[in-house]
Chains A and B, each alone.
Chain A
Amino acid sequence: MDSSDKKPLQPLDESRFQVSPWTLRVDTWMGRLISFGGISVVLAVLGMLVFLVWQVVPLFTGAKVTSQPELRLPAAVVAFGEDEYGALPFIGLADGTIKFLQSSDGAVTETWTPELAGRHVSAVRAYSRQGLVLLGLDDGSVQFAKITYRVEFTSQGDRHLSPQVKLEKPLTVGKLTSPVRDAWVAQSANGSLVVLQQELNGHPVLTATRLLERKGLGGRVTVIPGTPSVVAEGVTDIAEVLVPSTADTVLVRRRSHEVLVYNYNENTEAFALTQTFKPFANTAQPEISSAGLIFGNVSAVFANRQGAQEVWSLYPQKQPDGRSLRRWGLIHEGETLPGVPQGIFPAEGNKCYLVVAGDRLQIRNMTTGSLRWEGPAPKGVQQVIFSRNYERFTALTSEGKLVRWKLEDRYPEASWSTFFGKIWYEGATEPAYTWQSSSGSDEFEAKYSLVPLFYGTVKGTFYALIFALPIALLSAIYVSQFLRPEYRNIVKPVMEIMASLPSVVLGFLAGLWLAPLVDTHLISIFCVILILAPLGLLVGAIWAGLPQPWRRQVKPGLEFVWFLPILAIFVTLAWQLGPWVESLLFTVKEGQTGTAIVDFREWWRQVSTLGYDARNCLVVGFAMGFAVIPLIFTIAEDALSNVPQSLVSGSLALGASRWQTVWKVVLPTALSGIISAVMIGFGRAIGETMIVVMATGNTAIMEANPFSGMRTLSANIAVELPEAPAGQTHYRTLFLGACCLFILTFVINTLAEILRQRVRDRYKVI
């Protein structure tokens, strides 16, 4: 500004270019806020998977065991047990004295001695779970001592236990009057069983007696021993006796490593030998060194000197005479133990067991064979008991100590093979993939194989796609390539509305309207489906053969309007044809009367020997197809109609017909887009829930039969999660199912998305 002679220019008003600080501050803060909000929304959304995985991970962790202070015992102990809380263990001495110890310091709080009127105790056995001490006496009788704990809460909320021991009346159950060397008792819902071991001429004699309970006046229960029956008569080399809690069986292991099974016979009221089996018969070392029953008492684990394990279980087996009887059979061969097995002790409430092998302790699951925990064993473990809630276990050692552990193993039945492996469950006749999550019984073992659910999912999806793919893809081709544009604007919203139909509506219509219809008119429906494709081609061919003036009547892009009435006529005809076809092809003789009946369902049952359910795969496939068609249609139509016009024009200009253009140019170009559409449809069908819940029987079976139902992962979650208690194996298994669904659909959709992106890039290049 050096021209001083001129009128000086107004200096620029700097403030005009200044942004108010308020605006800037708002701008910065809104930027931060939105970034923060945006990032946290994205993270929250992605955090979903993290949360699901976090819920599932505990399933695959082993047991956590912490050792507790040991208790030094005041005398030589032959039996011991615990209360529910593990606060006041009791020990049984050889003379029948029972002492209660404070679990904190081992101090004896109470001592109880039986009053036996001159007789002497010759055998003691404690049943911790039942709070029962069985005393065998020297006159051949037994007496039960029942231990009950009275629980009181102090004003501070502390628990105070006071034990009470009640000696019941002596029971004379054996034939002999010689001293009882050992005694066992089994209590089940349908009776009790007492087994005694006595001696006669230097040989052991086993006597088993059922105890009958009579309810007297005033609800008093008197126990009356039934007829005693000698078990394993003549067997002199008894090594071990196992008495399952079913109270109708005695297993006797001989020193020759044979196991004899004696079952109670209701008619003869005696125990008779029903089976002899020999574990490790096929191995070089058939010497059994340890054996133990598993909770539920229909399975037993045997271990030989080499540390090999075998699980034998009671399950229905075909006998030579054709009958099917429950017999013991080998169901698992476990992993080899780290040393010579010294004892096998069952856990409570599940199928785990503790095995002492060499100087190691192992907790293993019988069903899956998985190792839950391993740790060092104290010296000379004689006996181990688990608490009823499976939260503690205690070992009695030969050094006169009670060694105690706290156990945290909330998912003992879970393992990789539980969910995805073929497992031979006890009581089953063969290894299988089974899903059976709940039952009324306490000793029921839940079965959590996800394989049948995956199978059902894939099966349902398969039928849905079979039905949906032709319709969706054909109509996508027609709408994008041939249909007049003004109709496209109607068809697309209609398809969108179809996509928005709630699945509960489709499920309801499939289950309550379609299923009965399919049930009675299956063959008619098949006829209609079968004529559709040939009819389309035939009508096209006839039309193509017509003289040109006639053909001109059908404007290109309006074929479907002309087709509609023809289709209506032929569909009606095919529908009417159904019963005729059925009588022609599917006549069978009825099983009992032998009269010939025309019924496809009966025919299918007889010919395929598979079942026929009214709510079957076809119904589900049809209903799910409804949900999937619009999805596939929309994406495929998009991919097809976005094929660059230059390609189409070029092809047509070279003289290709419109179909040749579509077949040779458009479809190959849009192929990956179409594949992506199919994948997205697949993803949707996999996760469909309500339709499956409502239109299938929801039975978790694995058969390829198209006329049976299934249970899918998603339906399984919807049906069972509301009843599953939070945090337990069942609950977490359902989360695992959800996780699988999430990952499966996510992967499929991502692949589809990548394909779509590639198509888009390709179109850009062209």
Chain B
Amino acid sequence: MSSTPTTSTTARGEPWVWLTSLGLIVGLVMVAGLLSLVVSEGLRVFWPETVAVTELKEGRAIIGPMVQRRIRPGSPASAPVYERQYQVGMREVNGQAYQWFDESRVVKESFPAEVMGLERMENGPAFVRPVRLTNSAGKVYQATEAAFATELQNEVSRAAGIREKIASLTKNEIGDLNSQMEKSRIDLRRAEDQHLPVEPIKARLEQLNQAYAGLHDQAENLQKQAGLAKLEVLDAAKNAHVIPLFQIVRAWSPNQLSFGERLGIFFSRIGEFITAEPREANTEGGVMPAIFGTLAMTVFMSLLVTPFGVIAAVYLREYAQQGFLLRFVRICVNNLAGVPSIVFGVFGLGFFVYVLGGTIDQLFFADQLKYNNHSPVFGTGGLVWCSLTLALMTLPVVIVATEEALGSVPRGMREASLATGASKWQTIRYVILPAAAPGILTGVILAMARGAGEVAPLMLVGVVKLAPTLPIDATAPFLHLDRKFMHLGFHEYDLGFQSPDSDAARPMVFATTLLLIILVVCLNIGAIYIRNRLRARYKSASF
């Protein structure tokens, strides 16, 4: 800065101020851009778009919505070749559900009203021209008939009902039987080994087998019942296909829908996404088990972390002798929040899973280990280890938040309580903790938000891409701490990066991302809200 006098009325260094404002803008734009990208891409997944029939140069036609347009990778920047990705569906015919075509090959695009979208149990969605429908009573409806559409929807919902029945049959009853059979098999091996009578166990196994066969038949009958209704369609190449209605989850005519109908499908798809089980290697259906697993793990983690965190904080703030050592301990605990999450995962695997879990198995499940091919019970990843690992990871968050909350309880309140003759514990219990509760809650919510979004350590201690059972169900002991489970964050990682058909998985990844962000952002906003109210309260309550 020169010292020569100036006549300008402008303050010195104003350009730099503008430069700093740029930093803020970039930061805000980044957040807004990311959130809007995730929201728009995530919601687009559920929106029933119009479906084009596209004719290509070589006489080939495709039916399916255009998904994206891009410069072909590797094409020189001087002469970029654009290509379009279409969701052509019908994996059994097209091989891949999403295909890229050079834009130059597209001759004509039209949106005929008769095109129909079908979501199916297998081979992904299909975009077809319907020909005729045979309903479960055997009556035939041509696609041109007026009653076709209503009858189709009736049959679809009927098929859904049957599928549900079969699902509940296989999941609850057959699942139950399976676990009993597994137990009996272990019993049998034990009996054989220890020369105990095996006859009663064998008899029981036989009985279970028969029950299993009965249920199996029942399920098959149900399926047969449903198999009667079918839909005959033409694909893009005008080849005829017969699709059993049992396979159809949803049928809609994308080019005829009114806005309201589109909205209806949109919400019904969101509902399915949240409440249904995944299908087809997680690329279709819902993410209910992952939501459930994430919630179960997070709740269990917060149940673990809250008491320990609060006790540690109360000790550090109220009981421990303040001094150099305490300051050191405090810094250490603080810094633990900065230790990478993967390190906690490594510790969880080494200590919780192998040392603790291994010991539990040795002590309580030695029998099961011996007679069940040495498959570990607690000596492998599971819900309890995930929760413990994340609890350890988020412990500093809770300790720091609680200490802060304890510290900001006005001194007057503490002194008033002691002056009225309350003991130290009574003061803590009846005055300080209630006053600090919102602060502690903020810490716990922040810990939950961090835990819900964390993936790296969970990959090591018990998250899987597809868990056959939920960690909480109707079989005793109801809460299965040893089970592996699904998690939204891992689901996203697995779908996005381990999936064989990453294009087909893409919509689901975006939807999962949206869900995960909503979950985490809601938790955070909750924490921020509570904290702001807390500040207001202390302001007014100060002595």
A625 nearest in chain B by CB position: B30
A512-556, CB under 8 A of B: which get 1 and which 0?
A: 110010011001000000001101111111011100100100000
Of A500, A579, A741, the residue contacting B342 (CB under 8 A) is A741
Are A482's CB and B346's CB within 8 A? no
Is the pair A714, B76 in contact by a Cβ cutoff of 8 Å? no
Cβ 8 A contact of B27, one of A471, A559, A587: A471
Q: Is B324 in the interface zone, CB < 8 Å from A? A: no
List of B residues within 8 angstroms of A41 by Cβ:
308-309, 311-312, 315, 395, 399
Q: Do A42 and B460 touch (CB < 8 A)?
A: no
C-alpha spacing A338/B454, complex, angstroms: 55
| Given A544-B14, A742-B343: A583 and B506 interface contact (C-beta under 8 Å) | no
Q: Which residues of A lie under 8 Å from residue B343 when comparing CB positions?
A: 52, 687, 738, 741-742, 745
Report the stretch among A126-134, A306-314, A346-354, A502-510 that lies at the interface.
Answer: A502-510
Residue pair A659, B347 in contact (C-beta under 8 Å): no
Q: Would you call A275 an interface residue if the criterion is a C-beta within 8 Å of the partner chain's C-beta atoms?
A: no
Closest Cβ of chain B to A559, distance in Å, is 4
- Establish whether residues A540 and B392, one from each chain, have CB atoms under 8 Å apart when the complex forms: no
Interface residues of B in 20-43 (CB under 8 A from A): 20-28, 30-31, 34, 37-38
Q: Are B319 and A508 in contact (CB under 8 A)?
A: no
- Whether B493 contacts A474 by the Cβ 8 Å rule is no
From known contacts A504-B493, A537-B16, A598-B77, infer whether A745 and B338 are also in contact, taking CB-CB under 8 Å.
yes
- How far is A614 from B71 in the complex, measured between Cα atoms in Å? 14
Chain B contributes a number of interface residues (CB within 8 A of A) equal to 106
Task: Indicate if the CB atoms of A479 and B520 lie closer than 8 Å.
Answer: no
Which B residues from 481 to 533 make CB contacts under 8 A with A?
489-490, 492-493, 496-497, 502, 506, 509, 513, 516-517, 520-521, 523-525, 528
Q: Does A24 lie at the interface of the complex (its beta carbon under 8 Å from any beta carbon of B)?
A: yes
The answer on a CB contact under 8 Å between B15 and A544 is yes
List chain B residues, Cβ under 8 A from A474.
19-20, 22-24
Contact across chains for B15 and A536 when beta carbons are under 8 A apart: yes
Chain B residues lying within 8 Å of A478, measured Cβ to Cβ, are 17, 20-21, 23-24
| Closest beta carbon of chain A to B522's beta carbon, Å | 10
A714 contacts across to B, CB distance below 8 A:
340, 342, 456
Contact for A599 among B38, B78, B452, B453, CB less than 8 A: B78
* Cβ–Cβ < 8 Å partners of A567 in chain B: 22, 25
Let me know if A545 and B22 touch, CB within 8 A.
no
Q: Is the CB of A46 within 8 A of B332?
A: yes
> Contact between A659 and B11 (Cβ–Cβ < 8 Å)?
yes
Pick from A34, A55, A659, A687: contact of B13, CB under 8 Å = A659
Check A500/B521 contact, CB under 8 A, given A686-B340, A717-B346, A738-B346: yes
Interface positions of A from 443 to 470, Cβ below 8 Å from B: 470
Whether a CB of chain B sits under 8 angstroms from the CB of A194 is no
Contact present for A536 and B18 (CB under 8 Å): yes
Interface class of chain A by DSSP? helix
Q: Of A27, A502, A741, which contacts B425 at CB under 8 A? A: A27
Known: A42-B312, A509-B38. A689 touches B70 (CB 8 A): no
Q: Which residues of B contact A504 (CB under 8 A)?
A: 453, 455, 489-490, 492-493, 516
Q: Which residues of B contact A753 (CB under 8 A)?
A: 331, 334-335
> Taking the nearest CB of chain A, how far is it from the CB of B287, in angstroms?
14
Closest to B528 in A: A493
Q: Does A117 contact B (CB under 8 A)?
A: no
Q: Interface segment, A180-188, A258-266, A718-726?
A: A718-726
A239–B459 Cα distance when bound, in Å, is 57
Cross-chain pair count, CB within 8 angstroms: 358
A705 to chain B, nearest CB (A): 19
B52 contacts A by Cβ under 8 Å = no
Q: How far is the CA of A548 from the CA of B343 in the complex (A)?
A: 58
Q: Mark A463-499, 1 if CB is under 8 A from B, else 0.
A: 0000000111111111101110000000101111110
Give the residues in chain B near A741, CB-CB below 8 Å: 339-340, 342-343
Q: Which of B10, B15, B344, B460 contacts A537 (CB 8 A)?
A: B15
> Given known contacts A477-B20, A500-B450, A548-B9, is B331 in contact with A51 (CB within 8 Å)?
no
Shortest CB–CB separation between residue B350 and chain A, in angstroms?
Answer: 5
Q: Considering the complex, which residues of chain A in the window 668-692 have a beta carbon less than 8 Å from any beta carbon of chain B?
A: 680, 683-684, 686-690
Instruction: Indicate whether A540 sits within 8 Å of B314 (C-beta atoms), given known contacts A52-B350, A475-B24, A714-B456.
Output: no
Q: Does residue B1 face the partner (Cβ distance < 8 Å to A)? A: yes
Chain A hits for B38, CB < 8 A: 505, 509
CA distance A494 to B523 in the complex (A): 14
What residue in chain B is nearest A596 (Cβ atoms)?
Answer: B78
**B414-444 vs A: 1/0 string, CB under 8 Å?**
0000000101111011000000000000000
Report yes or no: A516 in contact with B34, Cβ–Cβ below 8 A.
no
Set B34, B342, B426: member contacting A23, Cβ < 8 A: B426
User: Does A746 interact with chain B (Cβ within 8 Å)?
Assistant: yes
With beta carbons under 8 angstroms apart, the residue of B9, B331, B456 that contacts A750 is B331
Tell me the complex Cα distance, A26–B430, Å.
Answer: 14
Give chain A nearest CB distance to B328 CB in angstroms: 9
CB contacts (< 8 Å) of B311 on chain A: these are 34, 37-38, 41
Please pick, from A513, A596, A660, A722, the residue contacting B1 in the complex, using a CB distance under 8 A.
A660
Q: A471-B27, A496-B524, A659-B13 are in contact. Are A505 and B492 (CB under 8 A)?
A: yes
Q: Is the interface of B mostly helix, strand, loop or mixed?
A: helix
A663's contact among B16, B78, B329, B350, by CB below 8 Å, is which?
B16
A19 within 8 A of B: yes
Say which residue of B341, B426, B513 sits within 8 Å of A689 (CB atoms).
B341
Against B, the Cβ 8 Å flags (1 = close, 0 = not) of A26-67 are 110011001101110110111010011001000000000000
CB distance from B159 to the nearest CB of A (A): 34
Interface contact A505-B350, CB-CB below 8 Å: no
With A502-B516, A560-B24 known to touch, is A537 a contact of B525 (CB < 8 Å)?
A: no
**In whole angstroms, what is the CA distance A644 to B178 when docked?**
70
A482: which B residues are within 8 A, CB to CB?
17, 20-21
Assess the B346–A477 pair: CB atoms within 8 A: no
Within 8 Å by CB of B496, from A496, A508, A597, A629, lies A508
The answer to the question of B47 belonging to the interface, with a C-beta cut-off of 8 Å to chain A, is no
B340 CB to nearest chain A CB (Å): 2
Asked whether B331 lies within 8 Å of A629 as measured between CB atoms, the reply is no
Do A688 and B28 have beta carbons less than 8 Å apart?
A: no
Taking a contact as CB atoms closer than 8 A, the residue among A37, A46, A657, A735 that contacts B350 in the complex is: A735
Contact with A along B309-323 (1 / 0, CB 8 A): 101111110111000
- Contact A52–B455 (Cβ < 8 Å): no
Of all chain A residues, the one with the shortest Cβ separation from B309 is: A41
In the complex, A375 Cα to B396 Cα: how many Å? 50
Question: Is B12 interfacial (CB-CB < 8 Å)?
Answer: yes
Residue from A476, A493, A600, A656 having most chain B Cβ neighbours under 10 A: A493
By a CB distance below 8 angstroms, the chain A residues around B71 are 520
Quick check: A559 and B17 within 8 Å, CB to CB? yes
Cα-based distance from A497 to B27 in the complex (angstroms): 12
Contact B453 A505 (CB under 8 A): yes
The proximity string for B residues 61-103 relative to A, scoring 1 for CB distances below 8 Å and 0 otherwise, is 0000000001101001111100000000000000000000000
Give min CB distance, A637 to chain B, whole Å.
11
Residues of B within 8 A of A512 (CB): 496, 502, 506, 509
Q: Which one of A500, A559, A597, A718 has the highest number of Cβ atoms from chain B below 10 Å of its Cβ? A: A500
Whether the pair A745, B339 counts as a contact (CB closer than 8 A) is yes
**Contacts beyond the supplied A474-B19, A626-B34: 10 A-B pairs with Cβ under 8 Å:** A34-B315, A48-B351, A51-B351, A501-B34, A586-B77, A629-B27, A657-B14, A658-B11, A659-B17, A738-B343
* 8 shortest interchain CB distances as A-B pairs: A687-B340, A38-B315, A474-B23, A659-B13, A502-B453, A540-B15, A540-B18, A598-B78
Q: What are 6 residue pairs bridging A and B, where the CB atoms are less than 8 Å apart in the complex?
A: A38-B316, A493-B528, A504-B453, A508-B493, A544-B11, A660-B1
Which residues does B use to contact A, with CB under 8 Å? 1, 8-28, 30-31, 34, 37-38, 70-71, 73, 76-80, 308-309, 311-316, 318-320, 329, 331-336, 338-347, 349-351, 354, 392, 395-396, 399, 421, 423-426, 428-429, 446, 449-450, 452-456, 459-460, 489-490, 492-493, 496-497, 502, 506, 509, 513, 516-517, 520-521, 523-525, 528
